[in-house]
Amino acid sequence: MQILDIRLKRVPMSELSIEERLKTFNEVALGYSEEQALAEASRCLQCENPLCIEMCPLHIDIKNFIKLIRKGAYEEADEKIREKNCLPSICGRVCPQEKLCVMGCKNTIGDPINIGGLERFIADWNLEKGMKIPDISQFTGKSIAIVGSGPAGLSAATELAKMGHHIVIFEALHEAGGVLIYGIPEFRLPKKIVKQEIEYIRKIGVEIKTNIIIGKTLTIDDLFDEGFDAIFLGTGAGLPKLLGIPGEDLCGVYSLNEFLIRINLMNAYTFPYKSKTPIKVRGKVAILGARGMDAARCALRLGAEEVSIFYQKKIVGRIDDIRRGIEEGVKLQSSTKPMRLIGNEKRWVKQVELIRLKQVVDSRTGKPKLIQEESSRIFYNAETVIVATEHIPNTIATTNTSRNIRISNKQKTIIVNPETLEASNGIFAGGDVVSGAATVIKAIEAGKKAAKSINKYLMNKH
Amino acid sequence: MENEIIFKKEIAPGVKTIKVRAPLIAKKTKSGQFVILRVSEDGERVPLTLIDWDPEEGTITLIFKEVGASTRELGRLEVGDIIHDLVGPLGKPSKIALYGKVCIIGRGVAIAAAYERAKKLKEVGNNITTIISARTSKFLIYKEEFKKLSDRFYIVTDDGSEGIKGYASDILKKLLELNERFDLVYAVGAATLMRNISDITRPYKIKTIVSLNSLMVDGTGMCGCCRVTINGKPKFVCIDGPDFDAHLVDFEEFKARIHMYDEEEKTALKIMREI
């Protein structure tokens, strides 16, 4: 009976207690111990046709890395993952596995395997131990400039470096990692992990130059003049979009990006004794938009009296993190739409006015739609407001250049050939800057795809 | 070495000028742009106007007043020290063109920024009237330089310790009342000064440009901390500015937003003094 029980239930991953979580920014999910990882790995059915692999955008050989874990061959398991994914300890933590690999898990009689948990265990174990440098092809004599050190850039850089090219990444901020550093909070993805993964990428020969803004400090033309043979733009989707409602200019109103940059990149939660960058969280906090779970959890840790996320349809995020946020006290207010922000005489926000939305069936299309219930207004007394709508790409990199790079009018994304990801002769782009805001793993996938076509482009050119 | 301070001088009490080795920035800078720097590992990202740059020598010159913890920390660096992080040039360059008669107004530490713009505007042939102002005589900087450059030159102090007693806006008002006309008024300094200048030139329909010193974090358009309403629409000072048509700026909002962290500033300064 006991054996069956183990088979059915997923090995739970230890977490910090809710009390401890609210006091610090320490990582909440503590990862599997070796014993736990072995127990979880033993639950895998080792299917004939593993759907999990098909569902993973990078097609990591999940079946075999789990098999290697079972054998205790942790180094080989890590190599198996890294064949396909250059940032496994990051993906193990931040991928929405329930919508990807885990969705393909056919362990139908019990819980699906915690693939992310196992990926994280293996990657952490090897990062901690120190990994050997993989085989790198002979130097090709070609140099590639990568713009942006987020997941797309890091992935393209890793692939191209392994092929024997010389790679330089240019990062506008003072720290490498892009959204992994400025966007994802410490309690979900510790910076130490990001730094270790980047350190490994440096070891395979990738050079990273911070504090250089392509389009300002250097231009795309400068990069070609300096002798780079190709350029990859992985500049992400870093520009906030405001709601366009009255009162967004009031003090105490943050864009999601500003709130997260202050906390994640600038460590404002250690102000004033360590970090010199302040952040202000007072009274009740209203988060306007479905992308606000990370900000909501940060606000609770910074002493907010109450935190509510107001959104229309569906909250964005990984299921585990949404669950943890709710456990920590985040309140979800679906089917609401902000109308205006109301300030006090000193121009500080004091209240948000929202309207309730009701789902009705559209008589024309027969599909459900949301309509405003004019009689149902909500007044929420918030002294801190965070606007958490979607982000759009920052196009600074493509300015001040003679090269013709097309940008879509509405979404501000770079237009590329979908097969080759080429935006202009010798210039490639991928990740959020092409797709609009998406996931880390999708950006890694795009980086790999671009690396392949850049290599082809360079090898055909003499 | 890059980011190395190669020259430092205190030009007024608490006002320091530094020359920094930054060849890439020096090569690209245009009038009106700025840099962002961090003094240390845990430092704030501090925006500072580029006052001078020499592409051949590969250096840039910055001037700052020690007001908060970060500028004080910067002031402690000496020749030979390295600035932890330095990035730029940021912002849109000022429009340097032949306007005709230009009135340049600067106050306090921002007189240096006014001088940089005045120099460029003079080079292209404008007739320059300058009004520099400060709380008191010892905070007046770039006097000699402005005297040499200006076709007409006024000094104003709040307490009358040097030049005319009063405010820059008083002088401009008087000049306009005396039927003096300008094709451009360019003002840089405290928010109140810029708003007052804007109010004075509005009825005369004189094109007036102000350089806004909003709070910033990344400086590349990512955070929107520096947002300001221009003609009813939100704009980001870091990428759409810092120069804006003064008559379109919502100064009340601008003033409120630059004081958002005054309390925290005080705390940081207090802790710095204790350590």
Q: What is the pLDDT of residues B124-137, one digit of tens each?
A: 999 999 999 999 99
* pLDDT score of A410: 86
Tokens 């929202």, residue located: A354
Which one-letter DSSP state was computed for residue B136? S
In which element (H, E) is residue A322 found? helix A319-328
pLDDT, tens digit (0-9, with 9 covering 90-100), for A277-311: 999 999 999 999 999 999 999 999 999 999 999 99
> Cα separation of A369 and B250, whole Å?
38
Which one-letter DSSP state was computed for residue A211? S
3-state secondary structure of B35: strand
CB spacing of A238 vs B222 below 8 angstroms: yes
How is chain B split into domains, by residue range? 5-90, 101-258
Instruction: Kindly tell me if the per-residue pLDDT of B274 is higher than 90.
Output: no
Instruction: Kindly tell me if the per-residue pLDDT of A461 is higher than 80.
Output: no
Least-confidence region, from A103-112, A310-319, B42-51, B258-267: A103-112
Residue B257 near chain A (CB below 8 Å)? yes
Residue B38 near chain A (CB below 8 Å)? yes
Residue type, A72: G
Task: Choose which CATH entry (1.10.1060.10, 3.40.50.150, 3.40.190.10, 2.40.170.20) describes domain A2-129.
Answer: 1.10.1060.10
Tell which wins on pLDDT, A90 or A399: A90
Best residue of A249, A275, A387 to probe chain B, by most B CBs closer than 10 Å: A249
Contact A101, A63 (CB under 8 A): no
* pLDDT score of A132: 80
CB spacing of A213 vs B38 below 8 angstroms: no
Tokens 């009018």, residue located: A409
Residue B231 near chain A (CB below 8 Å)? no
Instruction: Count chain A–chain B contacts defined by CB atoms under 8 A.
Output: 115
Average pLDDT on A80-91 reads 96
CB spacing of A251 vs B257 below 8 angstroms: yes
pLDDT band at A369 (very low <50, low <70, confident <90, very high): confident
pLDDT band at A375 (very low <50, low <70, confident <90, very high): confident
* pLDDT score of A107: 72
Average pLDDT on B144-173 reads 96
Best residue of B46, B223, B225, B262 to probe chain A, by most A CBs closer than 10 Å: B223
B236 vs chain A: nearest CA distance in angstroms?
Answer: 11
CB spacing of B24 vs A217 below 8 angstroms: yes
Which residues of chain A neighbour B265 with C-beta distances below 8 Å? Answer: 278
pLDDT band at A78 (very low <50, low <70, confident <90, very high): very high
> Cα separation of A427 and B103, whole Å?
46
3-state secondary structure of B73: helix
pLDDT, tens digit (0-9, with 9 covering 90-100), for B47-92: 999 999 999 999 999 999 999 999 999 999 999 999 999 999 999 9
CB spacing of B217 vs A266 below 8 angstroms: yes
> Cα separation of B61 and B39, whole Å?
16
pLDDT, tens digit (0-9, with 9 covering 90-100), for A139-190: 999 999 999 999 999 999 999 999 999 999 999 999 999 999 999 999 999 9
Tokens 């590969």, residue located: B58
* pLDDT score of A1: 42
DSSP string covering A331-395 = EEE-SEEEEEEEE-TTSBEEEEEEEEEEEEE-TTT--EEEEEEEEEEEEE-EEEEEE---EE---
For chain A, give every residue range classified as CATH 3.50.50.60: 143-238+392-460, 242-387
Contact A97, A212 (CB under 8 A): no
Please name the member of A258, A276, A396 whose beta carbon is closest to the beta carbon of B42: A276
* pLDDT score of A108: 65
> Cα separation of B135 and B193, whole Å?
12
- Say whether the peptide bond before residue B23 is cis (omega within 30 degrees of 0): no
Residue A129, classified by CB atoms within 10 Å of its CB into exposed (0-12), middle (13-18) or buried (19+), is: exposed
Residue type, A296: A
Distances (CA, A) of A367 to A370, B222, B228: 10, 37, 41
Q: Is A360 left (phi over 0), alpha (psi -120 to 50) or beta?
A: beta
Contact A310, A335 (CB under 8 A): no
CB spacing of B253 vs A347 below 8 angstroms: yes
Tokens 């120190």, residue located: A130
Class of domain A143-238+392-460: alpha beta
- Strand A349-361 vs strand A368-380: parallel, antiparallel, or unpaired? antiparallel
How many other CB atoms are there within 10 angstroms of residue B22's CB atom? 27
Residue B227 near chain A (CB below 8 Å)? yes
Which residues of chain B neighbour A257 with C-beta distances below 8 Å? Answer: 222-224
Query: Which CATH fold would you assign to the domain B101-258?
Result: Rossmann fold (3.40.50)
pLDDT band at A133 (very low <50, low <70, confident <90, very high): confident
Alpha helices in chain B (DSSP H): 23-28, 69-76, 111-123, 143-149, 168-177, 191-201, 237-240, 251-258, 262-274
pLDDT band at A130 (very low <50, low <70, confident <90, very high): confident
CA atoms within 13 Å, Cβ hemisphere of A404: 1
Q: What are phi and psi of B26, to 5 degrees?
A: -60, -35
Which residues of chain B neighbour A218 with C-beta distances below 8 Å? Answer: 24, 28
Contact A166, A119 (CB under 8 A): no
Average pLDDT on A223-246 reads 95
> Cα separation of B23 and B25, whole Å?
6
Residue B162, classified by CB atoms within 10 Å of its CB into exposed (0-12), middle (13-18) or buried (19+), is: middle
| CATH hierarchy code of domain A242-387 | 3.50.50.60
Angle made by CA atoms A194, A198, A203, in degrees to the nearest 5: 150
Give the pair of three-digit tokens for residue B30: 């245009």
Residue type, A42: S
Residue B222 near chain A (CB below 8 Å)? yes
* pLDDT score of A6: 56
Q: Provide the total of helices (H) and of strands (E) in chain B, helices listed first.
A: 9, 15
Q: What percent of chain A has pLDDT over 70?
A: 98
Give the pair of three-digit tokens for residue B72: 């004080």
Nearest residue on chain B to A277, alpha-carbon basis:
B44
For chain A, give every residue range classified as CATH 1.10.1060.10: 2-129
* pLDDT score of B111: 97
* pLDDT score of B210: 97
pLDDT band at A3 (very low <50, low <70, confident <90, very high): low
Contact A367, A57 (CB under 8 A): no
> Cα separation of A287 and A301, whole Å?
15
Instruction: Kindly tell me if the per-residue pLDDT of B273 is higher than 90.
Output: no
* pLDDT score of A390: 84
Distances (CA, A) of B13 to A198, A353, B9, B57, B133: 44, 48, 11, 28, 15
> Cα separation of A274 and B38, whole Å?
14
pLDDT band at A462 (very low <50, low <70, confident <90, very high): low
Contact B258, B191 (CB under 8 A): yes
> Cα separation of A265 and A255, whole Å?
15
Average pLDDT on B160-169 reads 95
Please name the member of B85, B220, B253 whose beta carbon is closest to the beta carbon of A249: B253
Residue B124 CB partners (closer than 8 Å, separation 6+): B96, B97, B98
> Cα separation of A183 and A238, whole Å?
9
Instruction: Kindly tell me if the per-residue pLDDT of B29 is higher than 50.
Output: yes
Superfamily of domain B5-90: Translation factors (2.40.30.10)
* pLDDT score of A183: 95
Average pLDDT on A419-435 reads 94
CB spacing of B271 vs A270 below 8 angstroms: no
Instruction: Kindly tell me if the per-residue pLDDT of A99 is higher than 80.
Output: yes
Average pLDDT on B217-240 reads 95
Which one-letter DSSP state was computed for residue A265? I
Residue B274 near chain A (CB below 8 Å)? no
CB spacing of B260 vs A251 below 8 angstroms: yes
Q: Considering only CA atoms, which of A37, A179, A177 is closest in space to residue A120?
A: A37
* pLDDT score of A443: 95
ipTM: 0.95
Distances (CA, A) of B161 to A78, A96, B139: 73, 67, 11
Contact A271, A277 (CB under 8 A): yes
